[in-house]
Structure 1
Amino acid sequence: MNDVYINRTSHYFPNNPVSNDEMEEYLGYINGKPSKSRRIVLRNNAITNRYYALEKGGKITHTNAQLTAAAIKELFRNDPEGIRHIDVLSCGTSSPDQMMPSHGVMVHGWLPQLGSIEVVSPAGVCCAGMHALKYAYMAVKGGDAKTAIATGSERFSASLVANQFEDEAHKLEALEENPYISFDKEFLRWMLSDGASAFLISDKKNETGLSLKIEWMEGISYADHMEACMYMGAEKQEDGQLKSWLEFGHEEQNEKSILSIKQDVKLLSPNIVPLGGKILPELFERRGLNPDDITWYLPHMSSNFFKDKIYEEHIKLGHHIPYEKWFVNLSKVGNVGAASVYFMVDELFHSGQLKKGDKVFLLVPESSRFSYMYALLTAV
């Protein structure tokens, strides 16, 4: 089995950063009214900037595939011929531009210089980027490929604009009910951001400068006993089951904003952190990892609300990871789902703070039906 290294990282954000006060200039006002929940959510999540593939007024500027292709091109900014020697392209996202074809092949379509290669598109939500990385890692580790590109990307903004909710708001108003959209639909409008990041994976480390050796990657799902918490293209029923968008008529889809992203916040808060820590004692013991050996801790957080809760959960498990080891950039870039952990690794990789021998622990939760991915990298 080959050793596997991350030799380059890159990122691409669309347009200029958007401040908290500007958000509704891009996303629009639902039913012409400012949001009642925006300031409450922003106060808790501590996000101060995010990026949208939109102009003010909601005009779309980039597709998800274009964002991802741009991040890949950044990998080869100083080595334009290097892109012609890639064996596998693995692209993870939870917001593809279409249901078919897959996100990965649409990205490939913007990069003819890659030639005809293997392409894979893991589905999912925040863990999709880690699944893409694991596929690239396994392909290189098993010898099926010498080089691979793994990406994480999102373009959430197109599903957050006000016109996606107008039919529902008007229906509520016509029924003489409160015309504000329910909190489970509004919540994520103030959390999510657009962007793409890419890693160049190889069976050889860099001859000069640092590489990140992927020591191991593991994942776990608790869907065997947990119901859906975040979902899109479905409506949650009283028994916890999801009713597919395919079972709704066209008018009903619009009147209930079925294609919007929703979060069951009552299910999220009591479960997302404890389940993320559940496997850690066994995982650390089996992998021979002492928390004291971790140099950098990169936990993906949807909101700063969870930071202290994650810290306290580690203490409860006997794994003290002090805040000075944490490396997060949520406040600057927002929650970019499948790309968030890539952005953290990318920023750390280019920060000048990494030293040979540093151990970097990644933890990515996914609230959709409570899945988690973990990985350990070593700077070499």
Structure 2
Amino acid sequence: MLSDGAGAVVVEFQPHPSRPSLRVDWVRHVSLAHEHDVCMRAGMTGAEPVVGGTWQDLPVADAREAGMFLLRQDVGMLDDLAHAGIAQFEELVDIGLVEVRHVDHVLCHYSTHAFRDVAFDALKRRIPTLDTDRWYSNLETRGNTGSASIFIALEEAWRTGRFAPGETILLAVPESGRFSFAFAHLTVVAPPPSRGELP
């Protein structure tokens, strides 16, 4: 379920002068932590922190012996996470931030293909014309690299020539620890014309 990786992007105020760039059209991040119990945790014995019950309250050896440094996840809550993520996507469509017919590529982070199937089934009910061939994932080749996943997938899709100027990309990243969802909309832009060139 978890691999190791690192990824980053460079954000600048203007397009690259000699090659295509990705323009950030908008970013939206929503947390639903107030509506759900903790799904993933570490540093404590129970599902919620209590005074005197965290790794900071014990000698390190005792906290280690109690298993407080282990990452725990309630996988029974992951269906709720998937459905909450679908609802967030549908809200983007409802308010007009995402026009499904005009999205050329979707890069979505998920930790297992089971979530991909849940997402596709739910989206097909809402948007029967959605072409799932537009979705890109490198889960099979790179694994679940956590917070680096979307950057690694974006770099790989870019490097392999998947994007062309004028196309749009939707990035979708769910986070199970506190039920948060991040989305970004990008547009591929050509380099600006050189001096003396006609646009």
Which has the higher relative contact order, 1 or 2, with Cα contacts under 8 A spaced 6 or more apart?
2
Q: Is the 8 A contact 1:273 1:313 kept in 2?
A: no
Amino acid at match of 2:68: I
Distance 1:352 1:372, change over 3 A: same
Distance (Å, rounded) in 1 between the aligned partners of 2:10 and 2:150: 15
Residue of structure 2 equivalent to 1:350:
159
* Aligned with 1:242 (options 41, 44, 49): 49
Residue 231 of structure 1: aligned partner? 41
Aligned partners of 1:193, 1:362: CA distance in 2, in Å? 20
Name the structure 2 match of 1:263. Answer: 73
For structure 1, which segment, 310-319 or 244-253, has the greater mean C-alpha deviation from structure 2 after superposition? 244-253
Is 1:326–2:135 an aligned residue pair? yes
How far, CA to CA, are the matches of 1:320 and 1:362 in structure 2?
20
2:9 alignment partner, SS class: strand
Q: Give the alignment partner of residue 98 of structure 2, picking from 281, 289, 297.
A: 289
Q: Distance in 2 between matches of 1:224 and 1:281?
A: 20
Question: Contact 2:166/2:187 (CA < 8 Å) preserved in 1?
Answer: yes
Tell me, yes or no, if the aligned pair for 1:301 and 1:307 is still in contact at 8 Å: yes
Partner of 1:209: 19
- Classify 1:377/1:223 alpha carbon distance in 2 versus 1 (closer, same or farther; 3 Å): same
Q: CA deviation at 1:216?
A: 0.2
Query: What does residue range 149-168 of structure 1 map to in structure 2 within 5 Å?
Result: none
Write the deviation string for residues 36-94 of structure 1: whole angstroms up to 9, x where unpaired: xxxxxxxxxxxxxxxxxxxxxxxxxxxxxxxxxxxxxxxxxxxxxxxxxxxxxxxxxxx
Q: What is the alpha-carbon distance in structure 2 between the residues aligned to residue 283 and residue 231 of structure 1?
A: 29
2:87 pairs with 1:272: no
Determine the structure 1 residue equivalent to 2:4. 194
The Cα shift of 1:251 comes to 4.1
- Superposed counterparts of 1:14-29, under 5 Å: none
Per the alignment, in what secondary structure is the counterpart of residue 11 of structure 2?
strand
Return the offset for 1:266. Answer: 1.3
Q: Flag the structure with higher helix content.
A: 1
Is 1:311 the counterpart of 2:133? The answer is no
Which structure 2 residues correspond to residues 90-109 of structure 1 after superposition, within 5 A? none
1:183-215 CA-to-partner distances (Å, cap 9, x unmatched) read xxxxxxxx1111211211111101222100000
Is residue 45–residue 67 contact of structure 2 (8 Å, CA) maintained in 1?
no
Listed one character per residue, the Cα deviations across residues 113-157 of structure 1 (whole Å, up to 9, x for unaligned) are: xxxxxxxxxxxxxxxxxxxxxxxxxxxxxxxxxxxxxxxxxxxxx
191, 194, 218: which is aligned to 2:28?
218
List structure 1 runs of 4+ shifted beyond 4 angstroms: none
CA distance in 2, matches of 1:355, 1:274: 32
- Taking structure 1 as reference, are residues 288 and 334 closer, same or farther at Cα in structure 2, changes over 3 Å only? closer
Cα pair distance change 1:300/1:263, threshold 3 Å: same
- Amino acid corresponding to residue 321 of structure 1 in structure 2: L
| Residue-by-residue CA offset, 1:240-276 (whole Å, 9 max, x unaligned) | x2342223444431223211111111122x2111100
Percent identity (aligned): 28
- Cα distance in 2 for residues equivalent to 1:353 and 1:318: 24
Partner Cα distance (1:248, 1:320) in 2: 56
Q: RMSD between aligned alpha carbons?
A: 1.7
The whole-number CA distance in structure 1 between the counterparts of 2:178 and 2:94 is 26
Contact 1:291–1:319 (8 Å) recurs in 2: no
Q: Is the 8 A contact 1:211 1:379 kept in 2?
A: yes
User: Structure 2: how far apart are the matches of 1:202 and 1:343?
Assistant: 19
Which amino acid letter does the alignment assign opposite residue 117 of structure 2?
D
**Change in 2 beyond 3 A, CA 1:199/1:250:** closer
In the alignment, structure 1 residue 367 sits paired with structure 2 residue 184: no
Residue 288 of structure 1 and its aligned partner are, at CA, apart by 4.2
Name the CA shift for 1:218/1:230 in 2 (closer, same or farther; >3 Å).
same
Instruction: Tell me the distance in 2 between the aligned counterparts of 1:251 and 1:361.
Output: 45
Give the 5 Å matches for 1:56-75.
none
* CA distance, structure 1, for counterparts of residue 152 and residue 130 of structure 2: 21
3-state SS of the aligned residue for 1:301? coil
Aligned to 2:194: none
3-state SS of 1:310 partner: helix
Counterpart-to-counterpart distance in 1, 2:10 and 2:97: 27
Q: In structure 1, the residue corresponding to 2:121 is in which secondary structure? A: helix
Residues 40 and 73, structure 2, Cα contact 8 Å, conserved in 1: yes
